[in-house]
Amino acid sequence: MRPHVAILVAAIVATNLNAQVAKPPATTQLRRGMVITKSTTLAKRTYRIGAASSLDSALIVIRGDDITLDLNEATIEGTDPAADPDVAAGVAIRVDGGKNITIRRGTIRGYRVAILARGTKNLTIRNTDLGHSWKPRLYSLVEHESLADWLSFHHNEKGEWLRFGAAIYLDGVSGGDVRTNRAEQGMNGLMMVRSDHVRVQDNSFRFNSGLGIGLYRSTDNSIMQNRLDYNVRGYSTGFYRRGQDSADLLMFEQSSHNVVAYNSATHGGDGLFLWAGQSTMDSGVGGANDNLFFGNDFSFAPTNGMEATFSRNTFVGNRAEGSDNGLWGGYSYESGVVGNCFVRNRVGIAIEHGQDNEIASNRFEGDGTAIRLWGDKVEPSDWGYPRHRDTNSRNARIAANVFSRNRVGVNAANTHDLAMVGNSLAAVDTPMVFTDTAGVRTESNAVRATNDAAQADPCASMGPLPAEYARLAPQAEGVTPEVPASTRSKSDRSAIIVDEWGPYDWRSPKLWPLDSTRAVPLRLAVHGPAGRWRVVGRRGIAAVSAMSGRMNDTIVVTPRADSLRDWQVTLEYRGVPTVTPRGAIVAHNTPTRFSFGTFEPAQEWQVKFFAWSDSTDPRGKAGDFVALLRGAPVTTARASRLDYMWYRPTIAGVPQAKWALEATSAVTLSPGTYTLRTISDDAVRVWVDGKLAIDDWAPHESAVDAVPLADGRHELRVEYYQLDGWTELRLDIVRGRQRASGSPGPH
């Protein structure tokens, strides 16, 4: 054989051998109802396959041991990405028991739950994008919230949490690794129920309208180096900051012995929300105990940077800045709060009925009150906890802390056996306030009237941790335990914007009011990535302060006098690549339109308020209630909008409880598609042109009802009654067709 031929043959043989070595694995096309019992690689493509609404079934079921499902960078969609998120349904992947299961490398979106695992041992989920799962429409407005948006995670003994959906839901999982996954723009990122020894690391569970991570009866887990920011609802700058029980990290009901370290958990409803559980509340036994929180950033929460109640835990080297309370520790006992940095909170640490707690080596910079300790003389009568335990506020040790520029250093009331030792207080208006407090010991505290110049980052000057706490530092990849890396945003709570689908993620252009939406003229902030904007459309607008500019400008819009209820301004953005709220990537310099406007068709409501009694009870005395409405009201009102929410009536003459109203109006709608929607607590009925359209007459907490409404002229009549407690009644007419599913609520 000639030399060059031999070389050619050798090359061909080598090529064939290499091809055999590099031959990709066989792939499988995804189909509905697939049951996987051995390792499988999906064919790489985009699948759009809906799932049954029942959470007991799934698009894919994994059953067996030692199985890897390689999604192979495929995308699995349960709904059209442009669809409203509340139409997502069902489960994409369910893992039925088994051991040594791995799911990796793919995108799943548009389901109520992306991955649901039950009773699995050693589960690995890696490198998946599970964002844009189900989430409900929110009904809180810029000016005031809606009670329909409040959440409650307090009960989950019967799987109640499943109604909230999640990107990942683990139930009874023991051992595993959840790492380098993304779950954003849904309601919940990761939910762990009765799960243990799972390592959760390097994930991004952000910009969800409920939780970043939630634990229930879950122990001995490691949650480290995750991005858990902006999991929030119930916030509007300048109007309310309630959080509505959203949180970056939730730990409930006997979730103990977990390590939470080096996470960024900023701008959540709470940064951390820990609660012992209903069983502890009833019996006084147990708690969500002996968890370690080390080196986390829990800043800029509308409510509490950290809330940890009825439990015993350790907080070391965390940061809590710009929240209502840096740490709310009601009924905490034998807890260590050491080496943390509290900056510009209304209250740095607030503990009611706390016992045997150590507060040491912390820094308090610019908090209104740095530390507040107290006991209430009367506790709730329906709690079992104080009947089974001593709940006096007592035996707090406050040592070696640095107080700077606080209005009050330590405020203690109805507390006994308090030690303040070796603290430094500088430029604190009132260093100590003690009321009905006995057994106070103060020793070696240094008080100065002035302070050094303010530091850009007061937490940077923290001293070393006490040795017994420094040694608790968990080992982490790429993090120096003594000086935890902070990945937090530098902005304050005003960076939180919550619209009808949850928190804004700053990846796309957005117009948002700086004041009430009813202000005239109205200031609008032009938010978004770097770039330029210009006005490309306006309807019902008399004037716009500028026709073009750069992002982060403010424009002033003045609606025409005849269009105050129906106007819109539309801008066009060009700039860096963006990601839409539905997750679509928009290329550099692509024209992108975004708008803001008002639609509230003209109505003039005539409202009559009535007080009812047992003899005219609307729940059982229908005829007598009708007669009541035909009689004399206790007061009347006229309103351009039917929108009442209060705990104590804001209208003179309306009683606190047992009252009702009848309201009538007319509305004329131009050609189009509309929805009439009510939010009510306790009961509502609506007639349209004399026909009963909404009938939700049994007492209920805030609930949403909706019916289609044709265009043209309509006569509207509303009946409503209130038993007691919170009042909410709102009637909206909105463009398009809307579902009435609403938030899953506090059931």
* pLDDT value at residue 461: 83
Q: Taking residues 454-476, report their average pLDDT.
A: 89
Residue 485 pLDDT greater than 50, yes or no:
no
Q: Find the domain containing 580 and state its range.
A: 506-598
H or E stretch at 467: helix 467-470
Tokens of 708: 């289609």
* pLDDT tier for residue 366 given thresholds of 50, 70 and 90: very high
Question: Phi/psi class of residue 230: alpha, beta or left (left: φ > 0; alpha: ψ in -120 to 50)?
Answer: left
Q: What is the mean pLDDT of residues 690-698?
A: 97
- Classify each residue of 714-737 as buried b or exposed e, where b means 16 or more C-beta atoms within 10 Å of its C-beta: bebbbbbbbbeeebbbbbbbbeee
Tokens coding 257: 């012995």
Q: Which residues pair with 21 in a beta bridge?
A: none
The answer on 375 and 285 residing in a single domain is: yes
In a domain, 14, yes or no: no
Q: How confident is the model at residue 586 (pLDDT cuts 50, 70, 90)?
A: very high
Tens digit of pLDDT for each residue in 44-91? Answer: 999 999 999 999 999 999 999 999 999 999 999 999 999 999 999 999
Last residue of a domain, one of 466, 493, 520: 493
pLDDT band with cut points at 50, 70 and 90 for residue 490: low
pLDDT for position 20: 53
Give the number of other CB atoms < 10 A from CB of residue 694.
Answer: 20
Contact yes or no for 731/639 (Cβ under 8 A): no
The answer on 617 and 586 residing in a single domain is: no
- Number of domains making up the chain: 3
With beta carbons less than 8 A apart as the criterion, state whether 703 and 615 touch.
Answer: no
Same domain, residue pair 343 and 312: yes
Last residue of a domain, one of 470, 493, 516: 493
Per-residue pLDDT at 99 exceeds 80: yes
The verdict on 593 and 617 lying in the same domain is no
Pair (410, 468) in one structural domain: yes
- Quick check: 421 pLDDT over 90? yes
| Whole-number percent of the chain with pLDDT over 70 | 94
Inform me whether the pLDDT recorded for 488 exceeds 50. no
DSSP string, 425-455: EES-SEEEEEES-EEEEEES-EEES--PPPP
DSSP 82: T
Q: Each residue of 497-554: pLDDT tens digit?
A: 999 999 999 999 999 999 999 999 999 999 999 999 999 999 999 999 999 999 999 9
Residue 144, pLDDT above cutoff 60: yes
617 and 469, same domain (yes or no)? no
Pair (511, 488) in one structural domain: no
Q: Return the exposure string of 508-520: e unless at least 16 CB atoms fall within 10 Å of the residue's CB, then b.
A: bbbbbbebeeeee
Q: How far apart are CA 408 and CA 149, in angstroms?
A: 35
What's the mean pLDDT in 424-438? 95
Is the full-model pTM beyond 0.75? Answer: yes
- Mean pLDDT across 272-281: 97
Domain termination site, one of 444, 462, 493: 493
Q: Tens of pLDDT along 153-195?
A: 999 999 999 999 999 999 999 999 999 999 999 999 999 999 9
pLDDT at 4: 47
What mean pLDDT value characterizes the chain? 93
Say which residue the tokens 């919550």 belong to: 498
Residue 331 has pLDDT above 70, yes or no: yes
680: domain CATH number is 2.60.120.260
